[in-house]
Amino acid sequence: MLPNMKLGLDRRTGVERFLTTWKSREDPGTGEYSYRIEPNELPRIVLFKGSTRVWWIPAWFENQWKAKHEATPTIIFHGTYVNNRDEVSTFYTLINASNVSRPYQYAQHMESRRLNGKMVAVVVTSAVLTSVLTITLVFWSVMKKRRRGLGIKDSEEENGELPIFDMVTIAGATNNFSEKNKIGEGSFGSVYKVIFLFD
């Protein structure tokens, strides 16, 4: 609420003044919460969620609270409650107009802290992702070197086909299919060891 802005009912015209929340931060349409005065025999300020009362306080309590805290130097406003045949309302006025900047400064301070918190989150997230990427690249590089040292070819260097040898080369490698080089038999025939490695 702004200073001197009334919350309540004008009984002469039937105009009710109340506050409502937005639907969301992006949508300023009427939300589900409202803050209003219930103008019955003992009016009270009520916070509604839809049509359900969530919180309330007697409107006349504001004047008692104000009287108890008026001497406190931290109080920056003066609350007023009106209940007569013309209206039932409440509003506040500033005790010292220079105090208007305090809530604004506080809001700026809180916004600055929120932005600083987001900046820290972005920096930390970036550092963690960079570290994970660096560790992954180092690990990949080490594993690639180890595979080369073991004579394992990388999949991109392989052509996906087995080498094809002519019969003369195979006969020479198995010592003319010698029984000494025979190591077993399978469903496709005999299996021989070779005398030399192919490059």
In sign, the C-alpha dihedral spanning 58, 4, 78, 106 is: positive
**Residue 108 located in a structural domain:** no
**Residue 172 located in a structural domain:** no
**Residue 42 located in a structural domain:** yes
57-85: average pLDDT: 65
pLDDT in tens, 103-159: 666 677 777 888 888 888 888 899 989 999 999 998 888 888 877 765 555 555 555
Tokens in use for 7?
Answer: 């919350």
- Reported pTM: 0.42
Report the pLDDT value the prediction gives residue 115, as an integer from 0 to 100: 80
Report the pLDDT value the prediction gives residue 16, as an integer from 0 to 100: 92
Characterize the bridge pairing of strands 87-94 and 52-58.
unpaired
Q: Which domain, by its residues, includes 73?
A: 7-95
How many CB atoms within 10 Å of residue 121? 10
**Residue 116 located in a structural domain:** no
**Residue 181 located in a structural domain:** no
**Residue 44 located in a structural domain:** yes
90-95: average pLDDT: 80
171-196: average pLDDT: 84
**Residue 39 located in a structural domain:** yes
181-195: average pLDDT: 84
pLDDT in tens, 12-56: 999 999 999 999 989 999 999 998 888 877 788 888 999 998 888
Q: Are 91 and 62 in contact (CB under 8 A)?
A: no
Q: Who wins on pLDDT, 198 or 96?
A: 96
State the total domains in the chain.
1
**Residue 157 located in a structural domain:** no
**Which band of pLDDT confidence, cut at 50, 70 and 90, is reported for residue 60?**
low
Report the pLDDT value the prediction gives residue 56, as an integer from 0 to 100: 80
